[in-house]
Amino acid sequence: MAGFRVKCAALSIQRAHGPPAGSVSTMIDARGLDAQDTLKNHYSPLQWDQAEMCGIAGIYTFGREHDGAELRRRVEAMDATLRHRGPDSTDTWIDAEAGIGLGHTRLAIRELSPLGDQPMVSSCGRFVIVYNGEVYSNAELAADLAGTGRHLKGHSDTEAMLEACAEWGVERSVTRFIGMFAFALFDRKERELYLVRDRLGKKPLYWGILGGRLLFGSELKALRAVGGWTPELDRNALASFLRHDYIPAPHTIYKGVQKLEPGCLLRVGPDGSPKISRYWDARVMVESGIRNPAQGNEHELVDEFDVLLRDAVKRRMVSDVPLGSLLSGGVDSSLITALMAEQSRQPINTFSIGFQESEYNEAPYAKQIAQHLHTHHTELYVEPVHALEIIPKLPYWYDEPFADSSQIPTILVCELTRKYVTVVLSGDGGDEVFAGYGRYQTGLNLWGRADAAPTPIRNALAGVLLRVPPALLNKCLARIPGRKYSTQRGTKLHEAARAILRQDPDAMYRQMMSHWDEPNAMVRQAGETQGILWDRTVARSIPNLLDRMQFYDSVTYLPDDILVKVDRAGMSVSLEARSPLLDHRVFEQAWRLPRRMKFRNGETKWILRQSLYKRVPRQLIERPKMGFGVPIDHWLRGPIRDWAENLLDEKRLTSQGLLDPAPVRERWKAHLQGANWAYPLWNVLMLQAWLDANPGVS
């Protein structure tokens, strides 16, 4: 962190304290600020009991005894790769006779005493758990357990979860957990290992049966730390990566290694045959919500939802360490911050990121929100040089090719935030659950018009749009009186124009979400993995196009892109991020709301706005959505051009034998001449950077 302290001092960090009379921004030298002492003067935690963020890992060698010392050495090697996730302590639990080893690294948030340490053994001695996450319903669990005669020794949710599983079984207990979690639990009597991941995929869990043993961990690097297997690149998964910018679950970049999908439970015994079941299914919840809408008038539904969201925020404000909010100035983060502010006895700490390029910069809006809510506000303006400092680290933090370019500012804002607090709340999930993305309106408009037109006219419309450069479209849209458009709407219209050439709305959606249209032609000897986005039964069970686009985003883009980005960025500096909008109760209630209460006459997130406008003036919120983007398109033509040119060298691409160099070079040249191919090029660049960082992958 010392290196970052020096960098921050040169980065234009502003710490704006917000007294009732109005906030005053002052420039500070970050090296001279004792952040922990400052926050202790302003923060007083609520007296509830919670847990800690961590890293977990383990090995299960099926049906045979294992050398205990060797097993411990391997698990400790796995733990060592995860110390950034849990720098406060680390420990292992080994049962050589059963062939099982569990490891844990701890970032202590609640129950800072040894009573919260892991691996943890149940009071009956039968079960052992390692756990990453937080369960916010542990007070209710503890009360119910007391009624069975199980009285907890401490206050950690780890103990409450463990004793619940011992009392009621894993399958029954997990349905009672409110929160984010990935855990491994070993039943010593039956010699069964359970791996469980939370409903919406907040916390990661990787696993694979490799060399006659099951390996699992919070990150892929933990599995790679175990010898005895050679990571082999999965070209099919690589093709999927080029389409999306992430590798969709359950696949990973390695053959034989998987992501445990959200809402899933894996159970494996000494015979080595894994069985995966779903204890919670987003599709089932969406379909059920649509079939069984909430009853009541709009005023009642808004009030009921406001109470639920307040509870979701309050549960996530519990911490024995300093806490803050990531504030972009948009609807989601502003509402979360406002709900925090009205439920806190002291001013909330807020953090924002900014850019010199005005079309990407939301920092001034965030600052206005912070002033209105009287928060202690800190903002960081990012320059290209900071991207250059972050880029070499991306393959390590993300483990497999990952190309959401907002990973750069996310890491930077997490580094900044971690100097002051250990826990932050964010607005993640609002766009997917409450129809916030601009592409929803674009898709509905274009498909509605295209679907009503004969095929020749549809093709002609798309052709006209594609002939107009995105920059010119942006200028034309900006001159339309009475309408506000995103500065990226021209690019989005180009994506949609290519999309309406497809034969059905789901194909249009895939096109809108694709960076490379034909990834199989890009990756040699590859066949793209096709999951839920190609499932034609979805259109029958979720017939409305808006609902379907939201659902697709909720089960693909959200867990495999957004939540991966935030988890790795936060954990890279041991910062915990909590997402009240991804409380599963909020998700389920949102899908029971009438569609008009999420998307109304072109206005997104209608019900969130009603809650927000009770607390923040409309004029501070109503503006075109920017998203959390970075000016990669500009940077590729300027300060990071040499870095990119080296990775996109035609001889390099040819010698690797993975990608067809021709389309890559074609788009690179076009981008340098003024076209915007930043997103597909960033996919290739992140792949190349990952390959450089992992030379042993075949």
In eight-state DSSP terms, residue 564 is: H
Identify which of 433, 435, 434, 413 has the alpha carbon closest to the alpha carbon of residue 424: 413
Rounded CA separation 398/418 (Å): 19
Rounded CA separation 246/243 (Å): 8
Beta-carbon count within 10 A of 692 CB:
12
Give yes or no: 264 in active site: no
Cα separation values, 578 from 52, 326, 427, 629, Å: 12, 10, 9, 21
Rounded CA separation 105/336 (Å): 29
Residue with tokens 């009921």: 304
Rounded CA separation 423/274 (Å): 35
Active-site option among 54, 165, 264, 414 = 54
Beta strand extents in 220-274 (DSSP E only): 258-259, 264-268
Residue with tokens 């954990």: 571
Beta-carbon count within 10 A of 643 CB:
17
For the chain, give me the number of helices (H) and strands (E)?
32, 21
Cα separation values, 483 from 67, 359, 480, 531, 603, Å: 69, 17, 6, 37, 12
* Burial (CB count <10 Å: 0-12, 13-18, 19+), residue 398: buried
Task: Please name every residue paired with 284 in a beta bridge, in sequence order, or none if there are none.
Answer: none
Is residue 547 within 8 A of residue 595, CB to CB? The reply is yes
Instruction: Decide: helix, strand or coil at residue 283.
Output: helix
What angle do the packed helices 331-342 and 298-315 form, to 10 degrees? 70
Rounded CA separation 324/379 (Å): 13
Identify which of 292, 550, 601 has the alpha carbon closest to the alpha carbon of residue 440: 550
Rounded CA separation 137/122 (Å): 19
Residue 224 CA neighbour count, 13 Å, CB half: 19
The first and second tokens of residue 361, run together, are 């910069």
Beta-carbon count within 10 A of 483 CB:
10
- Phi and psi for 113 in degrees, rounded to 5? -80, 170
CA triplet 275, 279, 285: central angle to 5 degrees?
Answer: 135
Rounded CA separation 431/331 (Å): 10
Is residue 196 within 8 A of residue 218, CB to CB? The reply is no
Residue with tokens 């993975």: 658
Beta-carbon count within 10 A of 190 CB:
11
Point out the residues that are catalytic.
Answer: 54
